[in-house]
Each structure stands twice: as structure tokens, then as C-alpha cells.
Amino acid sequence: MSMVYEGALADLVEEFGKLPGIGPKSAQRLAFHILQSPELDVSALAHALTEVKKRVRFCETCGNVSEEEQCAVCKDPRREQSVICIVEEPKDVVAIERTREYRGLYHVLGGAIDPMAGVGPDDLRIKELLPRLESGTVTECVIATDPNLEGEATATYLIRLLSSLGVTVSKLASGLPVGGDLEYADEVTLGRAFQGRTSVA
Amino acid sequence: MSMVYEGALADLVEEFGKLPGIGPKSAQRLAFHILQSPELDVSALAHALTEVKKRVRFCETCGNVSEEEQCAVCKDPRREQSVICIVEEPKDVVAIERTREYRGLYHVLGGAIDPMAGVGPDDLRIKELLPRLESGTVTECVIATDPNLEGEATATYLIRLLSSLGVTVSKLASGLPVGGDLEYADEVTLGRAFQGRTSVA
């Protein structure tokens, strides 16, 4: 960026700048923040970085992040074993857990079908899902892919695949976001909200 | 944030969340990015963090960041030794260097006078500035503090202090930012632009 940066500081600005959503100005601000932070805080961050790469892997059953063979959800006997919620990424599991509305299991696909990016069904963890449905314990699959083009394509593919396996297949409701303004809802969302209207009296 | 995070990943989200301008959502996105990054990239970031704390210190002369006793600017014999530009922070040096308009030396105060935050003149590197003016080599001080309340207070203090020492004291021009719209300029800036108008024909 400039000749006044020397060695280590320039390296740190560069490394921060490689992170998603962090531009050159933010990278510089972060680097100067680090420079002024207590040594202990900085080594905690450096340690957390290397530990994540060392310890975190993916649950062999559901594909969620885990530090053991089985993730916390799969290991927990209190979770409903009859429902599997299918999501694209581990962060979707976090989002759903935060609602406290769901007590079943998960299956993380590791992405969505996206022909433009060369991602087909075989690139997702769909083959790992099928054995989980064979024992007969699972009676329902809730499809919770992102409500965008790739997510909808993945949902359509999964609905077709799973409906032949004798499990109930459901999909998260589309509609107006809570706290939003009706006049600002896009026409597709508003249309879906009409289609999915529920009788209240 | 949620029970589904385990150990190392939760730690990393927390550590990222402590950085300025990084909220919980960004911290989570960064942590998942790290999880999916090649091990080499992650260790480069971790290494850069610890190296900055280990190697970067402050120039004994001007207070700019440096890995040696003297920073790159102070060491450079081609810099004009007769002008010192006084700034608040090392990042201001970076900003000024980027203009390629200035070839003199710097003095970094390490902040600005801010009575509300308990920062007075004695908390800044002003006492380190005075010996630099004694030899007579320096003929001009350019005050380049931030154009805000604290910066202006610091500038006023410095002008009073330095004017008695026989050096020319100047201050960066206030006026319309280049590329801006006149109608959107605030009244103080526009007023300063009038006061500082220059004859062109």
C-alpha cells in the first residue's frame, strides 16, 4: 500500500485484507488495532485461529462442524430422532438452533446445486443422507435450503428424490419476514405469502 | 452464541468479535471462512499477528511505527530535514505518504487533546517534539491533526506553543473535498473554503 509500512505490519495488513468483507482500509484499521492491543489478546486470536484448523472437523453423520466424530446434535439422545432438517451449510444449523423451534436432527449438504459453478447433486452430501433414512427411524425431512435460485433448485431435486422413499417431506414456509413492511416486500415473497395464507378464524 | 458451536470454533468467533467493526454475524462468517481456508493461509495470518506484536515498535525520534530504533522516514537521508509534519496517529503518516506531496519528516503525537477522555498535552508526545526543534535544522512545522474538535484543540495548543520557538507553523488547508458536491458540503467546511479562497486570475 505504501512504503512507510515495514515488514510485519505490511504482512498483517495483507493477511487481514484476504479475509472476506475486509477491504484495504479495514485491514489497516485492524492491523493498527492489533498493534495497540495487549499481547495476550493477540496471542489468544492467533491461538484460536490455529486451534480451529487443528481441532474442528465435520460430523461423520450429518456433516455439521464438530471436534469429535459425532457433532453435539447427533450425540444428544434428547433430540428427536425422527426428523432431519436438511440445510446447505453449518452456519444454517446455527441459525436454526437459535430459533429454539426445532428439536430434531440435521443434515448438512455442504452447498447447493449450482450448474453455473459446476456443483451438481453428486458434489453435495446427498449420498450420505440416504442411509440415514433406511432404518425407518426417520419419518420426516424438513428442507431448509436458502430461498434463492440455487437453494430452490436443490429443494426441488431433494423433494423428487425423497418423496419416493416413504418419508414425509416438508419445506420451510415462504412469506413476509416478521418485523418487515408489507409495502417493501418484493412481489415474489408477497405472492408466496398469499399462496401460503393460513386460516385464522 | 449458541450451543451448537463447540470449543475452538466458538473461541474463534469470540476472538474475531472483539476486533473493532466486526459484529457477531461478521465474526461468524470469518470463522467459517477460516474453517474452509487452506491450513497454510490460516497459519500465515496467525504468524503475522504474533510477528507484529513481536517486531513492531515505535520510532524513538518521531513515534511512527518501526521495526528498528528509527523508522523508514527518519532513517532516509533524502527526506527534507527542515520540515516536520505533526500528526495524531501512525496511520495518518500512511495517509500523507500516499499523497506523494510531502517529502519532510513526521512527528506522531499518539492522539489528540481530549479533556472529556482525560487526555491532556502531557499525555501526547509533545515533549519529544521540542528537542527536535532545538538544533535549528527544522524551519517549519506543518500541523496535520484531524479536522475535528479534538484535532483542532490540539492544533490551537501547538500553534501557541510552537510560534514562540522561531519556526514557521503552518496548518493543512480546510476546504471542499475534491470530488465532492458543493451543495452537500456542511456549512463549516463551506465557510472555511470561503475564508481560504485563493486568487486564480
What proportion of chain A, given as a percentage, has pLDDT over 70?
97
Q: Are A11 and B48 in contact (CB under 8 A)?
A: yes
Query: Which pLDDT value is given to residue B2?
Result: 44
CATH 3.40.50.1820 fits A2-55, yes or no: no
| Min Cα–Cα distance to chain B from A160, Å | 30
A150-201 pLDDT, tens digit each:
999 999 999 999 988 989 999 988 888 888 788 888 888 888 888 888 777 7
**Residues of chain B contacting residue A56, judged by C-beta atoms under 8 Å apart:** 6, 8-9, 35
- Alpha helices, DSSP H, located in chain A: 7-17, 24-36, 39-55, 72-75, 90-99, 130-134, 149-163, 187-195
- Residues contacting B139, CB < 8 A, separation 6+: B82, B83, B167, B168
pLDDT at residue B34 in the model = 94
Res A3: pLDDT? 47
Which residues of chain A are in CATH 3.40.1360.10 domains?
Answer: 73-199
CATH label, A73-199, candidates 3.40.1360.10, 3.40.50.11740, 3.40.50.800, 3.30.43.10: 3.40.1360.10
8 Å CB contact of B49 and A46: yes
pLDDT single digits (tens) B94-137: 889 888 889 999 999 999 999 999 999 999 999 999 999 998 89
**Residue B9 and residue A42: Cβ atoms within 8 Å?**
no
Give every residue of chain B whose pLDDT is below 70, as ranges. 1-6
Residue that wins the pLDDT comparison between A178 and A52: A52
Which uninterrupted H or E stretch holds A105?
strand A105-108
A to B CB pairs, distance under 8 Å: 171
CATH 1.10.8.420 boundaries in chain B: 2-55
Position A84, amino acid = I
Concatenate the DSSP letters of all residues of B131-184 into one string.
HHHHTS---EEEE---SSHHHHHHHHHHHHHHHTTTSEEEEPPP-PPTT--GGG
Query: What pLDDT sits at residue A106?
Result: 96
pLDDT computed for residue B199 by the predictor: 76
List % helix, strand, coil for chain A (3-state, nearest 5). 45, 10, 40
| Average pLDDT value for chain A | 90
Q: Give the sheet arrangement for strand A140-143, strand by strand.
A: A105-108, A83-87, A140-143, A168-171
pLDDT computed for residue B1 by the predictor: 40
- In this complex, do B35 and A65 lie within 8 Å of one another by their Cβ atoms? yes
* Of the candidates B41, B27, B64, B60, the residue with the CA atom closest to the CA atom of residue A30: B27
Q: Do residues A96 and A85 make contact, with C-beta atoms less than 8 angstroms apart?
A: yes
Which pLDDT score is estimated for B3? 47
Single-letter amino acid, residue B96: I
Distance of residue B107 Cα from the nearest chain A Cα, in angstroms:
14
